Structure 1
Amino acid sequence: MPDDPQTDHVFARDAEWAALSRFALSRAPSTRLGVVSGRHRQGKTFLLNALAEQVGGFYFVATDDTETEGLRRFGEALALHASGGGQYHFDNWDQAVDRLYATVPEGIIVIDEFPYLAKASPVLPSLLQRALDPGGTARRSEARLLLCGSAMSVMGGLLAGNAPLRGRASLELVVNPMDYLTAARFWGCDHDPELAVLLHAVVGGTPAYRHELVYSDAPASRDEFDDWVVRTVLNPMVPLFREARYLLAEEADIRDPALYHAVLGAIATGHNTRGGVASHLGRPSTHISHPLTVLEDSRLIIREQDAFASGKSVYRIAEPLITFYESVMRRTWSFLERGLAEQAWAVSGSGFRSQVVGPHFEELCREFTIRNSLELFGELPAQVASGIVPNPATRKQIQVDVAALAPGEPGRPSRLLALGEAKWGKTMGLRHLERLRTARDLLAVRKYDTEGTRLICYSGAGFDADLRAAAAGDDRIVLVDLPRLYGRTA
């Protein structure tokens, strides 16, 4: 086995590769099980294939089969690994697991798309637990077992609660989409921050969307973006066209796709509270609790706590392509299937800017704030989120897009590090700054410590001269434009 496995063909997955290498090369007797998860097309299979090739071992990809068919395919693959042909015949997974460890004495055992096997054979995790425990068959081998899968709800449950494999894993690796800065480099648009935001609002940071699903077609400038959307994302002959539907269909716990698409559609169009989703669908809130829980467990949506109200939260769709599908594509699906992409995109422009790019830009601004917190505040915040500040004088609410709060200290009021407002398509001026000042003053009345609070304006269209002058005279006013968002200015 090599001392330092490495691969030169994976873009920006150094941390994941290092974690897999440490696991594969560990000599600790307790290092026997690792769990790798992540949505389809994040590069998991590429990483694990490369690892198995470099350190030696057995690699098997499960499919959606019956238990009998799964055992047959597993027996064929194991026999091919052992002797180059033939087939092992197994009556059950107990026999298959015993033979697996007898056949693979060292290196790595990778079982990819493990949720398919567990679905057909629910006893399999318990059999693996028995094999891994003291006295089990895994103890007679030095091989490390890696279970991998894309069904996030299933993979997340493997090590949770009273699950058989809980407490037995030495590695729990989630291969996430690339962050917005890495995605911009990957798409070759880090020189054009406006294009980078627009692309990330559609395809996020999923590596496969750059090459496999769009024939390596990428817009070279902002002026090419609209044409690119029409010829790729909205084109029924391009694989990316139906990808958002497949992301939902691959989750085993989702049995009524129409209902789940309706819930996602409500969130995508701004009805992002539990009550808001229920009202939009015309159902009691108790009827949508289960779909929300399933979507959250599947990591298709994220629930975010309101920065200023412990009992309030909003839902956000985790995958940008799903937001784009629900906000743009599902509404014009019949036109798109007929090849009328240009017409569909022409009537979707305003919805794309307000329901897709605007909220996505706000999320990027929150991520920027977290990444640059030491530069901005000189410390790490405990929370960066959006929040609502009621204004009793006007009987209205102020929506704060970015709120950064310091870690709590016993006996002291909550310290507010920053309040921010994000505008994608508007030049920001003093009125936006005044909204933040009003929110800050209202929070001071509610006993927040606002003495050092910074007021941050984030804009995709820039700032007027008055706001720039105000920021130049007060270091507690911070302006973040697109170049700064992408690290192109100091």
Structure 2
Amino acid sequence: MQFLNRADELELLDRRLRGDSAELLVIYGRRRVGKTELLTHFADGTRALFVEATDTVRQEQLHDLTDELARVSGDELLKSQPLTSWEAALAAIARFVGDQRTLVVFDEFQLLAQQAPELESVLSRWWRTTGRTLPLVLVLAGSEISFFEDEVLAGRLYGRRTGQLKVEPFLARDAALFHPGYTAEDRVRTYSVCGGIPYYLARFTDDRPLGEHLLTEVFERGGLLHDEAELMLRQSIGDPANHTAVLRAIAHGHNRNSTMSARTGLEPAHITKLLGTLERLGLVESQRPVTASPRSKKVTYRICDQFLRFHYRFVEAARSQLRTNALAAAYVQDTVLPQLDHHTSGVWEDVCREHVLLNSPEVSSVGRWWGPVPTGRDRRTTEREIDIVGVDGDNNTRVLGMCKWTTSAVDFAELNLLDSLIPFVDRVVDQPRRVLCSRAGFTDRLVRHAAGDPTLSLVTPADIYA
């Protein structure tokens, strides 16, 4: 796979490798995000021992480590006498490092720790007595987010690590590096399918139309990504049937505990536990109005990962229609492509919020706002929403905006709607900046108006990738 971007991550690793101190780095992130590619790319041309753990028993893992250490060191003794304990393995690694600056990577470290519960204690003790005295950069990497945050970063290695890096999916603008020949609109659509996951994006090259990639990679039964969602869940959850039901419910718009319970038939308390697991895995996140207190009960849930959002909306619910390639082609043509822009509209909001955050030094976070707004009839209210709300470090609202993913150019109606809702948002500063984001651009008269209004910005897909 072509290696793209990750400039900040590579700079961090390179700085640590060029330093004089021993380093114990924890690098983690969800599956398929590109951790192994990043570390493999970084290790290229470096004196390194790269151990990629497998899900097997402890002795086999130590045999694999022995074989790799013997290969890179040329130690004939190791070839004839495999290592039988982690104490012996770490002593052998210390001999290999010697007095030369060396990178040592334990990839999928959680698999080693599962088979050897004593490993973290052994490693902590070895680092205190030996490792920190060596010209060594030791990297513990893996994809079980909850394990790394709870057991490694906050566990036995809390006082030993010298740095950590959570590898995140690509931003929307960086994801487009995989298909530079696509139009700006198709880049957004592709992001709505693949999100920022390099493993998925690499399959959606610009040598073929997006619709063809959807058919061959996602909907045909032989496609690489056809069963990806289920396989990914099963790597983290033994029996994911109920978790799958919750993900399907969210993907179809049931984003509150009560509505998920009604759709799935699962008890609300059980739904809460399932959501907690999905949140720890980084697949689902809870949302509140960005101006609300963290204790606010205005909670909704959404699938963080765009690919899972797409999969559980279009793939999982249509298994019976994907039995043959011909049926899959008809389903993509008749159902998926006509509904793709509706699906993309929600992701367009994510893309625009990201754009505002990256281009607004005055704000520290960007989210949504929703709340009751008077209808003008008696004391009746209706719930309304603002797509983009940016707040500063003191929770003052500084940027507000709306997003449209339609075929019609946006006119003053959208600006007037935004202005009518602003008074109901908490702690809005005087003359906040307003942003309108539109797939189809803006009318000439709105463009002329914006040119004379420094508080108003107009954003199109082309601006996202400029």
TM-score, with structure 1 as normaliser: 0.85
Amino acid at match of 2:172: Y
Alignment of 1:128-139 (within 5 A): 128-133=123-128, 136-139=129-132
Q: Do 2:389 and 2:401's aligned partners in 1 also have CA atoms closer than 8 Å?
A: yes
Q: Kindly report which structure 2 residues correspond to 1:200-211, keeping only aligned pairs within 5 A, or say none.
A: 200-211=191-202
Contact 1:295 1:301 in 2 (8 A): yes
Amino acid at match of 1:384: V
Rate the CA distance shift 1:87–1:209 in 2: closer, same or farther, 3 A: farther
Q: In the alignment, which of 257, 269, 272 is matched to residue 286 of structure 1?
A: 269
Matched residue, 2:372: 390
Q: For residues 309 and 426 of structure 1, what CA distance do their matches in structure 2 show?
A: 33
Inter-CA distance 122–441: structure 2 relative to 1 (3 Å threshold): same
Deviation string 1:148-207 (CA, Å, 9 cap, x unpaired) is 11222222334433x0001321221222222111221232146x1101101111112222
Amino acid at match of 2:107: D
Letter in 1 for 2:436: C
1:327/1:351 contact within 8 Å kept: no
Q: 1:55-106: per-residue Cα shift (whole Å, max 9, x none)?
A: 3121111100012222222222223333365144344323322333233324
Q: Deviation per CA, 1:235-291: give whole Å up to 9, x if none.
A: 22221222222332232xx23211111122222222223344334323332212222
Higher RCO (CA 8 Å, separation ≥ 6 residues): 2
Offset of residue 127 of structure 1:
1.0
Matched, 1:170 2:162: yes
2:57 corresponds to which of 47, 50, 66:
66
| 177-186 or 242-251: bigger deviation | 242-251
Offset of residue 27 of structure 1:
0.7
What is the identity, as a one-letter code, of the residue corresponding to 2:117?
P
Q: 1:167 to 1:304 in 2, by over 3 A?
A: farther
CA contact (8 A) 1:219 1:225 kept: no
| CA–CA separation in structure 1 for the residues paired with 2:438 and 2:374 | 28
Counterpart residue type for residue 245 of structure 1:
E
Q: Is the 8 A contact 1:440 1:450 kept in 2?
A: no
Structure 2 match to 1:264: 247
Q: Which residue of 1 aligns with 2:145?
A: 152
Contact 2:211 2:337 in 1 (8 A): no
1:101 aligns with 2:87: no
Aligned: 1:123 with 2:118? yes
**Counterpart selection for 2:6 from 3, 8, 13:** 13
Aligned to 2:330: 343
1:8-53, Cα deviation, whole Å (9 max, x unpaired): x73212211111112222212xx33111112344433233234434
The separation in 2 between residues aligned to 1:449 and 1:13, in whole angstroms, is 36
Give a deviation string over 1:299-344, Cα, whole Å, max 9, x none: 1223333123321333332221111101111111232242221222
Matched residue type, 2:119: L
Query: Tell me, what secondary structure is at the counterpart of 1:144?
Result: strand
What SS class does the counterpart of residue 388 from structure 2 fall into?
strand
Label 1:292 to 1:91 Cα distance change in 2 as closer, same or farther (>3 A).
same
1:229 corresponds to which letter in structure 2?
A: L
Residue identity matched to 2:131:
A
Among 164, 171, 178, the alignment partner of 1:179 is 171
Query: Partner of 1:232: helix, strand, or coil?
Result: helix
In the alignment, the residues of structure 1 paired with residue 191 and residue 241 of structure 2 have an alpha-carbon distance, to the nearest angstrom, of: 26
- Counterpart position of 1:377: none
Are the aligned partners of 1:79 and 1:87 in contact in 2 as well (CA < 8 Å)?
A: no
**Could you say which residue in structure 1 is the equivalent of 2:353?**
366
Out of 396, 401, 411, which is 1:429 matched to?
A: 411
Using the TM superposition, name which of 296-305 and 83-92 deviates more: 83-92
Shift of 1:131: 0.6
Give the Cα–Cα distance (whole angstroms) in 1 for the partners of residues 38 and 264 of structure 2.
Answer: 41
CA distance in 1, matches of 2:292, 2:338: 32
Give the match for residue 315 of structure 1.
301
Letter in 2 for 1:256: D
Residue identity matched to 2:267: P
2:446 is the counterpart of 1:463: no
**1:135-155 superposed Cα distances (whole Å, 9 cap, x missing partner):** x23256332211111222222
SS at match of 2:322: helix
Query: After the TM superposition, which of the residue ranges 194-203 and 171-180 deviates more from structure 2?
Result: 171-180
- Aligned equivalent of 1:352, options 340, 360, 372: 340
Question: Which residue type is aligned with residue 202 of structure 1?
Answer: V
Amino acid in the other structure paired with 2:174: T
Change (3 A) 1:26 1:321: same
Alignment of 1:409-448 (within 5 A): 415-427=396-408, 428-443=410-425, 448=427
Alignment of 1:213-252 (within 5 A): 214=203, 217-219=205-207, 224-251=209-236
RMSD, matched Cα? 2.4
* 2:382 maps to amino acid: K
Give a deviation string over 1:328-376, Cα, whole Å, max 9, x none.
111112322422212222223454333x3111000001001111114xx
- How far has the Cα of 1:482 moved from its partner? 1.9
Note the alpha carbon deviations across 1:396-452, whole angstroms, 9 max, x for none: 1111111112332xxxxx632122111112533333223212211233xx6x33421
Secondary structure at the aligned position of 2:69 is classed as helix
Q: Percent identity?
A: 27
Indicate conservation of the 8 Å contact 2:189/2:341, yes or no: no
Q: 1:366 to 1:289 in 2, by over 3 A?
A: same
Q: Which residue of the partner structure matches residue 89 of structure 1?
A: 82
C-alpha distance in 2 between matches for 1:71 and 1:472: 66
Question: Contact between 1:416 and 1:452, CA under 8 Å: does it hold in 2?
Answer: no
Is the Cα–Cα contact under 8 Å of residues 175 and 196 in structure 2 kept in the other structure? yes
Aligned to 2:428: 449
8 Å CA contact 2:192, 2:306 repeated in 1 = yes
Give per-residue Cα distances to partners, 1:96-140, cap 9 Å, x unaligned: 22333233324111111111111112221111111111xx23256
User: Is the 1:101–1:140 Cα contact (8 Å) retained in structure 2?
Assistant: no
Q: Is the 8 A contact 1:458 1:479 kept in 2?
A: yes
Q: Distance in 2 between matches of 1:43 and 1:332?
A: 29
Gap regions ≥5 residues in structure 1: 1-8, 375-379, 409-413
Letter in 2 for 1:313: V
In structure 1, C-alpha distance between the alignment counterparts of 2:274 and 2:91, rounded to whole Å: 39
Distance (whole Å) between structure 2 residues aligned to residue 390 and residue 40 of structure 1: 39
SS in 2 for 1:291: helix
- Quick one: which amino acid aligns to residue 348 of structure 1? V
| Whole-angstrom CA distance in 2 between matches of 1:357 and 1:330 | 18
Structure-2-length-normalised TM-score: 0.89
Q: Letter of the aligned partner of 1:420 in structure 2?
A: G
Question: Do the aligned residues in 1 keep the contact of 2:30 with 2:282 (CA within 8 Å)?
Answer: no
